[in-house]
Structure 1
Amino acid sequence: MKVNKKSYAFFFVCCALSGYFFWLSLRPVEIVAAHHRSSSFSDVIVRNFPFTDKGKIAWWLNNKEMLKEKYNVPNPNPDGSFYLNFWLFGDGYKELSKYDRLCFEDMNTKKNCIEKDIVFTVSYSKNMGTMFEAYDGTYRLQKNGEIVKYVSHSEAW
């Protein structure tokens, strides 16, 4: 009888955790703000960003036109190159302190910094094309639309 109760309890916990993670994955990405640090470097502050590398890349591909229209990101150089970081908003904007925080000079307030919690980077250059950096690695968008995990020559050795 005890084995059955433990089995049911384990099953219930697994279902509850699965449901919770499923719910987390369905929440829409919230864009809090976009900041431009220089001509080709931009930062997007987000909440509820996808967990997986595949989910992050898919979200970018599905939303890059909206980001350009609504937030003017990325803001490429004349040669088309850009570097775009996505940061988690966490507990919100904070004042500069002894901790290493990312501060945005385009905000005229003391609370213009966030904790450095980067979740995704998209970059483009003529030599490398479109590159994605996420938790599990760096990926490259091929000309045929395929996304492959990038291995640099130094890593191949």
Structure 2
Amino acid sequence: MDKKPVDVMVVNFNTAALLQPMFDALRAAGGEALASYLVVDNASVDDSVERLGKVCPQALLLSNKLNVGFGRANNQLLAHLQGKYALLLNTDAFVAADSLQKTIDYMDAHPECGILGVRLVGREGDLQPSCRYFPTPLNVFVGRTG
């Protein structure tokens, strides 16, 4: 089996209902050809693990007995990466139909780029921030007063 260019890394915690739409969006974006799926379940108490087995049986699944947090759970997947690129995807995020291919094309065309943040757009089409300034007294003042 050929390696796929993107490893999609997902940390799940009690979001069983979001798994189907997230994987449906990935498939609509060409995920079957472009991506491998790696999931850490962070000790969910809902039926996430069972649902994942039905929604995406080909996903590599690691199940934690304790919720170790988002960062540590992602780190658990590092040993399993095989693709050229890794995508950290939250279960409540849904990729647009052209996102995976556009991202791969951009990264391939710009080898000096080590990290790429894509545009985050809400369901209503509104741009959502993906970063914040480090909180300083001035930034807090400006943010609260506009």
Category of TM-score, reference length = shorter chain: under 0.3
Which structure shows the bigger proportion of residues in helix conformation? 2
Larger Rg: 1
TM-score scaled to structure 2, two decimals?
Answer: 0.24
Q: Calculate the TM-score normalised by the size of structure 1.
A: 0.23
Larger relative strand fraction: 1
Higher RCO (Cα < 8 Å, 6 or more apart): 2
